[in-house]
C-alpha cells in the first residue's frame, strides 16, 4: 500500500480536502443553526460529521483501492436553511436525520428500493434542488445592501478569483470574510478567551424526536436531494473514471456513518461528486490504481478540520449573520446554475419541472410540511398525467 503513495496524490488530497471543507462549511453551519441547533450543537455536528466522512472515505478507499471520496450533503444543508421552524426543535431535526440515514441504508441493502430512487426524474430532482438554492443565492446581494464595506469585498474576492480558478473562488470569499470580520467588525474584548475555550472539541448528544411532519418535510426531502445530488452523481464520477464497483455497499456504508453521527448533530454523510472528480482524475496519479491515496489524504484533512470546527464557529458567530449567509450563497451559485439548467433542459419535462421549482422556491408550507416535498409531489403528478394523456 505504501508503494502506491505519491507526492501527486498528497497534493491533490490536500487541495481537495481544503476546497471541499471551506467551500461549503458556511452552508452546513447555517443549515444546522436554521433547524434549531445551538452554536455548541452545530459545532458538535460539524466535528462529528467531518470525522465521519473522513473515516468513511479512508475505510472505503483502503478496502477497495479506489479513490472513493465522501462528503457532507451540501444540498441537504441548503434544504435545512430554507426549512420552517420545527415544532420539536433540533431534537426533531435529529429524528429526521436518522430517518434519512435509514432510507440511505435501505437503498443500499434493498436494491429494488435503490432502483426506484434512481428512477426519480432527473429534471424534477434538479428543479427541487434549484428551488431550494435560489433564495440562498440572494444573500450576497443582501449583504452588499446591508453594508457595502463589509459585503462587497467578499463578493469581489469570489468574482475575481473565480475568473482564474473556479475551485478557489469560494475559499477566496471565505478568506475575505475572515479579513472583513478581523478588521471591519468591532470584536468583543473577550474574543481571545472565547476562541481559546473553543479549541477543545466538544461532542454533544441530542436525543431524537420522531415527529411525522418533520420527517415528511425535512427527512424525506433530505434523503431525496442527498441521493439525487450526491450519491448517484458520485457513482457516475467513479464510473466515468473507469472504476467499477457496486453502488449498494457504498450507499450502505455512508448510511451507517450517517446514522452513527446523527445523534451528535450530523445531517448526512454521502458520496462526494465534485471532490470525487478531483481525486479520481489523472491529476492525482497517472496510474488509476494508485489514485486512492488522494481520497485517503482528503479524509485525513477532513478529520483535522473537524477537530477545529468549534474554533471556526466561535469566530464566525462574531460576524453579522448576513455575511455568513453571503459566503454560503456564493458557494451555491454554481450548484444553482447547474440545477436550473438540468431542470429545464428536457422539453417534455419542462412544465412539470417549472411547477416543482416555483412551489419549492416559494418557501410556502402546507400542513406543516415544506414546499420542497409538495413541489416534488406536484411535479411527479403533472409529469405522470402528461405521459398518461400522451399515451391515449
Residue 78: predicted pLDDT: 85
> Based on C-alpha coordinates, what's the Rg of the chain?
20
Beta-carbon count within 10 A of 178 CB: 16
Residue 296: predicted pLDDT: 94
What would the pLDDT profile of 10-63 be if each residue is shown by its tens digit? 888 887 888 778 777 888 988 999 999 998 899 899 999 999 999 999 999 999
Residue 336: predicted pLDDT: 84
Per-residue exposure over 26-60, b if at least 16 CB sit within 10 Å of its own CB, e if not:
bbbbbbbbbbbbebebbbbbbbbbbbbbbbbbbbb
Residue 354's alpha-carbon distances to 47, 339, 362, 377, in angstroms, are 37, 12, 12, 13
Residue 41: predicted pLDDT: 93
What would the pLDDT profile of 144-176 be if each residue is shown by its tens digit? 998 898 889 999 999 999 898 887 887 888 889
Residue 223: predicted pLDDT: 92
Report residue 210 as a C-alpha cell.
420522531
Residue 310: predicted pLDDT: 79
Residue 1: predicted pLDDT: 67
CB 288 within 8 A of CB 243: yes
Report residue 6 as a C-alpha cell.
505519491
89: alpha, beta or left, given left = phi > 0 and alpha = psi -120 to 50?
Answer: left
Q: At 208, is the pLDDT very low, low, confident or very high (cuts 50, 70, 90)?
A: very high
Q: At 361, is the pLDDT very low, low, confident or very high (cuts 50, 70, 90)?
A: confident
Q: Work out how many domains the chain is built from and give that number.
A: 1
pLDDT at 271 over 70: yes
Give the Cα separation of 321 and 147 in Å (integer).
12
Of 174-178, 300-304, 334-338, the poorest mean pLDDT is in 334-338
Residue 368: predicted pLDDT: 61
Beta-carbon count within 10 A of 85 CB: 8
> Which residue range forms the structural domain that includes residue 48?
2-391
**Residue 375: CB partners within 8 Å, gap ≥ 6?**
127, 128, 131, 355, 356, 357, 358, 359, 360
- Mean pLDDT within 294-303: 93
pTM of the model as a whole: 0.77
Residue 198: predicted pLDDT: 62
CB 181 within 8 A of CB 318: yes
Instruction: Give 380: exposed, middle or buried? Use CB within 10 Å, 0-12, 13-18, 19+.
Output: middle
Report residue 140 as a C-alpha cell.
450576497
Give the Cα separation of 111 and 107 in Å (integer).
6
Give the Cα separation of 130 and 135 in Å (integer).
9
What is the rounded average pLDDT for all residues in the chain?
A: 85
Q: Phi and psi dihedrals of 270, rounded to 5? A: -150, 175
DSSP per-residue letters across 358-372:
HHHHHT--BTTB-HH
Instruction: Give 228: exposed, middle or buried? Use CB within 10 Å, 0-12, 13-18, 19+.
Output: buried
Amino acid at each position: 500500500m505504501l508503494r502506491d503513495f505519491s507526492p501527486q496524490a498528497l497534493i491533490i488530497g490536500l487541495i481537495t480536502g481544503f476546497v471541499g471543507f471551506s467551500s461549503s462549511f458556511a452552508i452546513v453551519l447555517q443549515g444546522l443553526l436554521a433547524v434549531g441547533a445551538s452554536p455548541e450543537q452545530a459545532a458538535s455536528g460539524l466535528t462529528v460529521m467531518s470525522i465521519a466522512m473522513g473515516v468513511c472515505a479512508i475505510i472505503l478507499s483502503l478496502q477497495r483501492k479506489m479513490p472513493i471520496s465522501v462528503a457532507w450533503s451540501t444540498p441537504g444543508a441548503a434544504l435545512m436553511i430554507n426549512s420552517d421552524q420545527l415544532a420539536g426543535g433540533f431534537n426533531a431535526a435529529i429524528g429526521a436525520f436518522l430517518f434519512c440515514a435509514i432510507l440511505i441504508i435501505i437503498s443500499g441493502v434493498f436494491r429494488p428500493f435503490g432502483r426506484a430512487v434512481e428512477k426519480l426524474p432527473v429534471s424534477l430532482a434538479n428543479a427541487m434542488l434549484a428551488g431550494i438554492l435560489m433564495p440562498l443565492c440572494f444573500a450576497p446581494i443582501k449583504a452588499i445592501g446591508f453594508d457595502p464595506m463589509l459585503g462587497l469585498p467578499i463578493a469581489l474576492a469570489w468574482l475575481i478569483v473565480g475568473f482564474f480558478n473556479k475551485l478557489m473562488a469560494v475559499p477566496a470569499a471565505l478568506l475575505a470574510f475572515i479579513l472583513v470580520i478581523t478588521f471591519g467588525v468591532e470584536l468583543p474584548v473577550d474574543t481571545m478567551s472565547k476562541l481559546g475555550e473553543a479549541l477543545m472539541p466538544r461532542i454533544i448528544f441530542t436525543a431524537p424526536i420522531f415527529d411525522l411532519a418533520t420527517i415528511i418535510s425535512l427527512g424525506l426531502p433530505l434523503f431525496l436531494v442527498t441521493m439525487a445530488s450526491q450519491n448517484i452523481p458520485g457513482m457516475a464520477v467513479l464510473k466515468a473514471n473507469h472504476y467499477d464497483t457496486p453502488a449498494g455497499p457504498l450507499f450502505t456504508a455512508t448510511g451507517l456513518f450517517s446514522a452513527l453521527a446523527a445523534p451528535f448533530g450530523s445531517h448526512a454523510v454521502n458520496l462526494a461528486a465534485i471532490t470525487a472528480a478531483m481525486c479520481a482524475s489523472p491529476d492525482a496519479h497517472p496510474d488509476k490504481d494508485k489514485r486512492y491515496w488522494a481520497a485517503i489524504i482528503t479524509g485525513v484533512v477532513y478529520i483535522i478540520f473537524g477537530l477545529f470546527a468549534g474554533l471556526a464557529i466561535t469566530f464566525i458567530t462574531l460576524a453579522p449573520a448576513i455575511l455568513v449567509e453571503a459566503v454560503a450563497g456564493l458557494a451555491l451559485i454554481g450548484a444553482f446554475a447547474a440545477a436550473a439548467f438540468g431542470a429545464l433542459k428536457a422539453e417534455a419535462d419542462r412544465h412539470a419541472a417549472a411547477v416543482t421549482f416555483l412551489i419549492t422556491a416559494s418557501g410556502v408550507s402546507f400542513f406543516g410540511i415544506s414546499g420542497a416535498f409538495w413541489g416534488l409531489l406536484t411535479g411527479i403528478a403533472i409529469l405522470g398525467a402528461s405521459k398518461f394523456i400522451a399515451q391515449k
